[in-house]
Amino acid sequence: MSREAMVNFIVLQELPFSLVEHAPFQRFIATLNPWFTIVSRTTVVEDVIKSYENRRSALRETIRDSDSRVCFTADLWTSKQNLGYLCVTCHFINKDWKLQKRIISFNLVASPHDGLTMFNALLKCLKDWHLETKVFSITLDNAKNNNKMVGYLRTNLLERHLLLGNGGLLHMRCGAHVLNLIVKEGFKIIDTATTRIRESVKYIQSSQARKQRFEEIIVQVGISCNKRPPLDIPTRWNSTYLMLECSVQYRIAFEALESQDLSYVDIPSEDEWKMADLLCKIFKPFYDATNVISGSLYPTAHLYYHVLWTVKEKIEKESSNKDYSIAAMAVKMQEKFQKYWDLSFLQICVPVILDPRFKFNFIAFRLEVGFGNKGPSYTAKVKSTLEDLFAAYSSQTPDSSNNFRPQSNDEIIDENDPWADWEQHLTTQKKSAEKNELEIYLQDDLFPRQKDLDILQWWMMHSTKYPILSRMARDLFAAPASTVASESAFSTSGRVISDYRSRLTSKNVEALICLQDWLRAEGNLLLAVFNNMLVQDCNPKIYVQDCSPLRLISGHTNFKIAEDDISDDEGQLD
């Protein structure tokens, strides 16, 4: 137990294997337990691999025995040694209707990183984990090689009849990247205000003396904000938004700095400050939307539509702005929005139908109002996709006879019965009037629109009434709306494969990355169980499971997109 705990400690804290051979560490352990035998770094590596393989086998059995399909996110990361690693994350909803996320692969990928190479790497991962028969969707960014990879994957799985339906919902485009591309299109039109503010922030951060002078001015003018203007990374629009938002609050301080420091010449003009303030108001819905869909601990598939629609309405409003530059920016953003809407509207709209607060009529209404003449074609496509998916799930569900109305009239008619034809007519009429499970769900009353609805718990409670739809919902809501789950692993990998640990083998890298993720998941599960027991024992009345997106995103406000991952589908990532 002690040796296993030591290995887990090294993995979770991203410590070097050689820690066990350091004399201070050995003396520390001796003070705790003089009889504990310190092992060598080689043995620690063996223990890490053993722990990884044991947990890998247990997780593979858990996913294999699950009734649900699984969704994936995947992304490519380049290490400091210029080696490409493909991170694959698995998302599924377990038997208790809890969303689960696990990194299942962090493998070195051979060059070139084109669609075929990526497909072969992904297919190998699916085969190793015995998941080829359980694939539902995969969320990727908008690089051209990812589009080709999904094309190969769809063809491969359809040829072997391993996808439900025609695989129309297989490819989920990362919502955070789509929003990023839309905003970047707007920043191409308006950049003067951001440039001046960026240079101002860069100026005050360029030396200790300038920082001190700016702090003194803040006190003089009486600004009480605790945050200081951060310098953005131009390729990350959300960092530019945060820079503008914070800098606007320090406008008086920057103006005072100009009068006290003759070297400061990049003070924004009156119009540029007004433009910065306006840009903050325009891009706030984009920033909030990115935070909502970047979550990995709660379902995001059904939330994507709502935040994207808010963005759509904001763009349309600004397209008629009296300021020509703002209107021109909005028009460009509209074009980019429409491009990705046409590519992804099925994946965006279908999950909303299985939200009992909205259902199909809500989507039909919004599409026809929001897209005019195009609305009916969008609605028809969404409806046919939903019905095809329901039919595919029904065909795999035992005793689903009530969901398919027989059309034959081959009953034997008694020629001696003068009313036999009438009886046959009544029987046929009765059968045609029977409703399947999908029709019953869509006609049932809407659930009250409450922000804190736990949609997974709702479907768990109604799984007996809607057995087929609940299986659909379980798979649809497991699909993440962004690739943050995979991208977040890159922060860990950057520390694991550092300049001081560049000799790690790819096998050890994968074991460290995956094992850390699994240990954290186990720890979070145990903590959640303990907290639930504690709260319920203390006061059952205050135990409320709140899955409000606005509360759950509090830990995701610093979402960032790696610079080398920001690519439109016209580009090629390598």
State pLDDT tens for residues 398-414.
Answer: 665 455 444 444 556 66
Phi, psi of 271 (to 5 degrees): -65, -35
Flag the least confident range among 284-293, 459-468, 503-512: 503-512
pLDDT at residue 119, rounded to an integer? 95
Count the Cβ atoms, other than its own, within 10 Å of residue 186.
25
**Mean pLDDT confidence for 15-42:** 90
257-280 pLDDT per residue, tens: 999 999 999 999 999 999 999 999
Flag the least confident range among 25-39, 265-279, 426-440: 426-440
Q: State pTM to two decimals.
A: 0.82
Q: Percent of the chain at pLDDT above 70?
A: 83
| Closest by CA position to 71, among listed 91, 99, 49 | 91
pLDDT at residue 37, rounded to an integer? 87
* CA–CA separation, 486 and 76 (whole Å): 9
* CA–CA separation, 244 and 229 (whole Å): 8
Flag the least confident range among 1-15, 98-112, 418-432, 527-541: 527-541
**CB of 284 closer than 8 Å to CB of 319:** no
Amino acid letter for position 150: V
Residue 551 has pLDDT above 60, yes or no: no
Phi, psi of 294 (to 5 degrees): -90, 0
pLDDT at residue 564, rounded to an integer? 37
Q: pLDDT class for 463, splitting at 50, 70, 90?
A: very high
| Closest by CA position to 174, among listed 501, 487, 468, 492 | 487
Q: Which two tokens stand for residue 366?
A: 């919004």
CA of 120: how far to CAs of 114, 117, 126, 136, 360, in Å? 10, 5, 10, 18, 38
Flag the least confident range among 5-14, 186-195, 251-260, 396-405: 396-405
pLDDT at residue 222, rounded to an integer? 92
Q: What share of the chain is helix, strand, coil (3-state, %, to 5)?
A: 65, 5, 30
**CB of 440 closer than 8 Å to CB of 469:** no
Count the Cβ atoms, other than its own, within 10 Å of residue 126.
23
pLDDT at residue 396, rounded to an integer? 84
* CA–CA separation, 161 and 179 (whole Å): 34
DSSP assignment, residue 448? P
pLDDT at residue 424, rounded to an integer? 74
**Buried-exposed string 28-45: b where 16+ CB fall within 10 A, e elsewhere:** ebeeeeeeeeeeeeeebb
Residue 562 has pLDDT above 70, yes or no: no
* CA–CA separation, 148 and 153 (whole Å): 9
Mean pLDDT for all residues in the chain: 85
CA dihedral 290, 292, 295, 301 (to 10 degrees): -100
